[in-house]
Chain A
């Protein structure tokens, strides 16, 4: 009874806030206040339970891929849309799909949760499975310490009832193995030993210690990333079970980080699906996944590609530069320091910008435009213009490089702002609207 009332109130709020164009979290907040157990009542009843995807980097991409893999195998999947990775965001998206009875027409839920909110969520609904990606610095203001983040993920694993999928190459994640409950299965993903030297592209060297536990030796059933020579195609190789190998395949999203996300999602899908997992079906599903908003999204600006690349921590920025840095495009960097960006910009000094040196940077912009230009100066990267105002900077950048490929590296709120401007000028899907949907 209480759940129905709560859902009805939440649905009302949702309709209202839609009309006013409001944010996605408010209706969830209303429902949650009325019935703190709303998540348990709806998601807890799903036949295959809840799968939580957490970790610092790659949650959105990995969740999207896992959902696509499960749907391709015929499962009905509930998921939280991009960008609303909080408990309330999950409830908000529930409201759109659930009847007042609280019954959700799905077999399984796959939800992306950030580390801090994953615990609040798992206290309501213990996950059947969790996929733990990595621990890196992000939003220091919010989580304060990497050690703390690692503890949150450990607790999440402890609360998981069926199985956990862990990153074999991230020592913060791999040591969680010792904390899972009795009878909870452990599966692994990682990079193939033959490309171990590329691991630093995915990690932050300065917080890894030589005396940390050595990487786990690959064992039967592990899903390992094995890239092809061309750098774009790859195979997810299952140790001891070549029939299950997925690929070679090529993702629409570029870069090593996306490949390791696909590996994580594939290892998890295979674990969830068991014998009904089909390698060809999985490869087709992965190849069809569109890059999520802000992860290598390409906008057509009068026939020239403009790429928006979200950067939010040293590991992510370093990976992004490794993926794109040396290509001959005009580059702009937009750094804000609002709450959602992380207010401390110190981390820019933990990124190496060497790859931008050859071509230089056309423009730095955002609230911390001057700090970004200063940072580049200490890596010997030339900056043509510094313009704090994002609108002025965007106009100048587009005007100066008409018809040529362009790329903007930007923090979260800078990206939201720039994308809104671009949406007004060029036909773009609005934030939250999946281009595929």
Chain B
């Protein structure tokens, strides 16, 4: 499987082998948007994490890499996107516009999506450049981002509906929530959307936007499973998680919380 344009990827056998249960609970299709252009800060790790956890829970993961210009995958039960550079964003905007209506419909329909950093911004209402130019986004999340001279960089701890979440932010855009837009989390350490209102990310239905890299899912298994539960219910009609050994993830998570919050 060399140039797998839009083709499903397999999970490495050795990772699958960590599961104690057979993969007999059904297929769940994971779509990663623009893994080349919009995943330069390790956000591919989120996709890897979901695929592995699906298998460990007894489901069969099918991962589709969606590249610009390629046909839309035959099935999507959960969609992921990551951060990129300016040049990467330019490369994906045309394709994103082509699938805009579809993505808005899927979001309304309750499909779980996790959009990090650059893709979070593109899922918002608009991005306003330093020069004042207004670039419209998909409008799935009611957030507006302004280009900023200073970068917000560093480790982050949040309180969210999925419990505490740790990660790493690295963004120059400053994002403000529209009226009534829920944040993804409240900042306990770090800067968040804009460094002033204590909000991080945005959440509408099952769509989560966030600045957190890390990547965010491996060290926050409750968030990963929260998204997977919705995906598995849509795909298979139920959610029957297996017991997954998360000792290492919990220790990594706790080490960061203790270090950054001192508790």
Contact = CB atoms under 8 A, between A and B. Distances in A.
A273 interface: no
Contacts of A381: 14
A375 B44 CA distance: 12
B150 to A, nearest CB: 11
Given A141-B153, A343-B154, A346-B215, A373 B248 contact: yes
A388 B49 CA distance: 23
A146 B85 contact: yes
A378 B35 contact: no
A374 B35 contact: no
B215 A349 contact: yes
A352 to B, nearest CB: 10
A198 B150 CA distance: 39
A247 B44 CA distance: 41
Contacts of B155: 337, 343
Contact of B41 (A140, A357, A380, A383): A140
Contact of B45 (A209, A344, A346): A346
Given A343-B154, A377-B248, A209 B215 contact: no
B213 A380 contact: no
Interface string A194-227: 0000000000001101000000000000000000
A377 B247 CA distance: 11
A349 B44 contact: yes
A391 interface: no
B252 A371 contact: yes
A296 B251 CA distance: 31
Contact of A345 (B48, B151, B168): B168
A331 to B, nearest CB: 16
Interface string B16-48: 011000000000000000011101111111001
B183 interface: no
Nearest to B250: A370
A137 B85 CA distance: 12
A346 B42 contact: yes
Nearest to A205: B36
A379 interface: yes
Contacts of A371: 219, 252, 255
B132 interface: no
Nearest to B212: A346
Contacts of A140: 41, 170
Interface string B234-263: 000000000000001101100100010000
A373 B241 CA distance: 23
Interface in A355-409: 357, 367-368, 370-371, 373-375, 377-381, 383, 386, 388
B131 to A, nearest CB: 17
Given A145-B85, A147-B86, A373-B248, A137 B40 contact: yes
Nearest to B86: A147
B166 to A, nearest CB: 10
Contact of A207 (B40, B45, B170, B214): B40
Given A147-B85, A357-B14, A370-B252, A347 B219 contact: no
A378 B11 CA distance: 10
B248 A370 contact: yes
Interface string B209-228: 00001110011000000000
Contacts of B45: 346, 349, 375, 378
Contacts of A144: 151, 170, 172
Contacts of B13: 380
Nearest to B47: A349
A203 to B, nearest CB: 13
Nearest to A388: B255
A422 interface: no
B168 A344 contact: yes
A423 to B, nearest CB: 28
B87 interface: yes
30 contacts: A144-B170, A145-B85, A146-B85, A206-B39, A343-B168, A344-B41, A345-B214, A346-B41, A346-B43, A347-B42, A348-B42, A349-B44, A349-B45, A349-B218, A350-B42, A354-B12, A357-B14, A370-B248, A370-B252, A370-B255, A371-B252, A374-B219, A374-B252, A375-B45, A377-B18, A378-B15, A378-B49, A378-B218, A379-B12, A380-B13
Interface of B: 12-15, 17-18, 35-37, 39-45, 48-49, 52, 85-87, 91, 151, 153-155, 168, 170, 172, 213-215, 218-219, 248-249, 251-252, 255, 259
